[in-house]
Amino acid sequence: MKIGSTLRVVGVIVFAGLVSGCAHVPPASDPAGRAAFLENNDRLEPMNRVMFKIDQAADKAIIHPVISTYHHVVPDRARKGLLTFKHNISEPVTFVHNILQGSPGAAGRTFARFVMNSTIGFFGFFDVAEKAGMPFRSEDFGQTLAVWGVGEGSYVYVPFLGPTTIRDGIGLGIDSFFVDPIAWYSYNPHNAQWVQWAELGLIYVTEKDDNMEALDELRKSSIDYYAALRSAFRQIRASEIRNGAPPPMEDLDAPQ
């Protein structure tokens, strides 16, 4: 089965769920509840919590043990090398979005990173560009849409993939099928199809591994893990879109 058709099936299932699982907006007589509802941007919360439960059950039974084994069996340096390699194959996508966001300087740095790391960085296993003062910065279509003024859309929790938003989910789909050079490579039936599967596996394992420790800690330190994860995810995306600037906290100084 081709990866494109597999993901399309997943997409159809997710969007069928989207139309069925909407939350009730708290009435105007409950201003605090309404404010919290709007701040959390989770119109699909009932469906999302079901998806989250499925995801957590699968995580506990299969994914966490597998990633944990990977974490403990594969030496640190090898895991770091694979993560760097994964970052490197994403640089062409970042480059396209640097341009689409109107940042030619960032595009130049991304290009330089890709050339340096792919050559003297031994096919991207070593991040020599970071040591030369050009740290990794990831851009994607979700961030470009945000820069263009497109709102998040509701928060969405997708089993096995994790948290996203309507905007970022659509962005990921477009990046995966139309921007990523490996997708273009695999559109040619004469080319090896396993390459795209290998890419997917690499992205999945390295990202899960990179986040595992933080997620374990978040789970242990929260009373509503679903809500804490939603908050942390949306803050990280917002921080990426602001390119690292601290978040605004408008009502911190407002009289209560």
Residues at the site binding other proteins, with contacts judged by CB under 8 A: 26, 31-33, 35-36, 39-40, 210-211, 213-215, 217-218, 220-224, 226-228, 230-233, 235-236, 238-240, 244, 246-247, 249, 251-253, 256
Least CB distance to other proteins at residue 254 (A): 10
Structure-derived torsion over alpha carbons of residues 117, 118, 120, 123, reported in degrees to the nearest 10 = 110
Q: Which is nearer to other proteins, 16 or 214 (CB)?
A: 214
Between CA 29 and CA 26 the distance in angstroms is 8
Q: Which is nearer to other proteins, 6 or 235 (CB)?
A: 235
Q: Which is nearer to other proteins, 5 or 221 (CB)?
A: 221
**Pair 232, 218: CB distance under 8 Å:** yes
Please name which of 149, 203, 195 lies closest in space to residue 172, comparing C-alpha atoms.
Answer: 203
Given the structure tokens 């090898």, which residue do they identify? 78
Least CB distance to other proteins at residue 1 (A): 31
Phi-psi category of 26—alpha, beta or left, where left has phi over 0 and alpha has psi -120 to 50?
Answer: beta
**Pair 32, 56: CB distance under 8 Å:** no
* β-sheet bridge partners, residue 163: 157
Least CB distance to other proteins at residue 249 (A): 7
SS3 content of the chain, % helix, strand, coil (to 5): 70, 5, 30
Q: Which is nearer to other proteins, 9 or 236 (CB)?
A: 236
Least CB distance to other proteins at residue 23 (A): 10
Least CB distance to other proteins at residue 194 (A): 30
Q: Which is nearer to other proteins, 105 or 244 (CB)?
A: 244
Residues contacting residue 24 through CB under 8 Å, at least 6 positions apart? none
Least CB distance to other proteins at residue 99 (A): 24
Please name which of 52, 53, 51, 83 lies closest in space to residue 67, comparing C-alpha atoms.
Answer: 83
Q: Which is nearer to other proteins, 29 or 188 (CB)?
A: 29
